[in-house]
Amino acid sequence: METGLRDNVAVVTGASSGIGAATAIAMGREGARVALTYKGSEGAAQEVAERVREAGGESLPIRLALEDPSSIGAAIGEVTDRWGGIDVLVANAVRWPQARADEGRAEALPLSEWQESLRTNLEGTIATINAALPAMRGRGWGRIVLISSSVADEGQPGPNPYGVGKSALWGLARQLAWDVGRDGILVNVIGTGFTVTERNLATFGHEVREAVASQIPSRRLSSPEEVANLVVFLASRANGNITGEQILEGSSTGRSAHVM
């Protein structure tokens, strides 16, 4: 399959580990110029950048914090100054939940946690898109892929601002698709199920992973590389006209709750 990504400029946020890192490397394998962002793990991002270069692409690790609009503008500006534009944005960066409500009661979760989570995950993603859009419109072509979660579709016990923020990405994609489609830009969302990332392996034991896998038709969990392959397709010229859609990767068939 010809992706047409060679020499294209791709920005992958939250790319120092997990799905973001796998996506950056997969983009490099296609010959893309990859700006991979990190918030605090500069060393890990440098290692991913080297793997992107080994895979055949160019790379540029840049700091970007979703809660800091100035860092978003600076990062996007550095990309356009270096490579002259942006073709692809993969919005993968996320603020993980910082607090849990006692006994899973909605009223027990501080309002401040809702505010910080939604402002970071939703508003920070919107700010990143807004910063990148002028460069895409200028090229008359672009692809935006938002990384959501199956929690947005299936829910999870207890109040979950993370899941609410991830749900909002679907609505964002549906609305944004109408605005940017006339400029040759397609916008889609991937709702990932439990993916075998370093974080999930360290957080959840074998029994939890087996229980989640038993709810998936294939009876196995997706790897970050498998999610990355889907991102590459949606972000490439092989995707001719799919836009405003949510695609679930490695999700269960029911509505029974599982971990993120």
DSSP output for 68-95: -HHHHHHHHHHHHHHHS--SEEEE---P
Name the active-site residue from 87, 122, 151, 162: 162
Rounded-to-integer distance, Cα 107 and Cα 229, Å: 40
Would residue 162 show up in a list of annotated catalytic residues for this protein?
yes
- 201 CB-side CA count, 13 A: 9
User: Which sign does the torsion angle of CA 105, 111, 112, 115 carry?
Assistant: positive
Q: What is the set of active-site residues?
A: 162
